[in-house]
Amino acid sequence: MFFNNLISNGNVLIRSEVLTTRFACDLNKCKGACCTVESEFGAPIIEEEIKEINEILDVVLDYLNKENIEEIKKNGFYEKKFDELFLRSVDNKQCVFVYYENKIAKCAIEKAYFDKKINFRKPISCHLFPIRISKFGGDILRYEKFRECEPALENGKLQDITIAEFCKESLIRLYGEKWYSQLEEKFNR
């Protein structure tokens, strides 16, 4: 499944759908569904992000409702399952860092970042979404499809933006500008 239509860029393999599928979030339609998808697993995180979040947690808590704060204080903001780290969710639904603005689920970490109260934007897996990273001797970037993201597919077609272009900032954050420039050359956009 993962080895069809792979493109190599540096030491990263990219499924071609990341470069060809049109996608641009439409929060007014999806209401931040990626932060509230029902699942026993929250968004993947890495060790370094746990340290970052621990350092900024007091600031981020100011943006959260009582239920999410209680969940974090009682159980922490992350959990380890099958040797992988994930953000914790409330009732297997919304991420513990969700707050609502005009009935749209948003990230409290990112809100604190945009309010210039912290320097950490949010976990890279959240910033990259709908791209997910699979590991197979190195990173493989793939498009994770969710029914709730159908408005993003329509919006991407309207704006003529691919997943890779939509995720440009997060891809540069992870791999650097040179890597992204080389990727752009490969998909000629």
DSSP letters spanning 170-187: HHHHHH-HHHHHHHHHHH
Does 4 lie in the same domain as 57? no
Whether pTM exceeds 0.85:
yes
Decide: helix, strand or coil at residue 155. Answer: helix
Does 107 lie in the same domain as 40? yes
Does 19 lie in the same domain as 40? no
**Is 186 within the bounds of a domain?**
yes
Is the peptide bond preceding residue 123 cis, with omega within 30 degrees of 0? no
Does 2 lie in the same domain as 70? no
- Tell me: the pLDDT tens digits for 83-137? 899 999 998 889 999 999 999 999 999 999 999 999 999 999 999 999 999 888 7
Among 120, 143, 163, the domain boundary falls at 120
- Tell me: the pLDDT tens digits for 14-72? 999 999 999 999 999 999 999 998 887 789 999 999 999 999 999 999 999 999 999 99
**Is 151 within the bounds of a domain?**
yes
**Distance between CA 141 and CA 183 in Å, rounded?**
12
Q: Is the dihedral of CA 175, 179, 18, 184 positive or negative?
A: positive
**Is 176 within the bounds of a domain?**
yes
**Is 29 within the bounds of a domain?**
no
Domain that holds residue 19: 1-23+130-189
Token couple for 145: 């499809």
**Is 152 within the bounds of a domain?**
yes
**Distance between CA 100 and CA 63 in Å, rounded?**
9
Among 63, 88, 120, the domain boundary falls at 120
Does 40 lie in the same domain as 114? yes
**Distance between CA 87 and CA 109 in Å, rounded?**
12
**Distance between CA 44 and CA 41 in Å, rounded?**
8
Does 143 lie in the same domain as 89? no
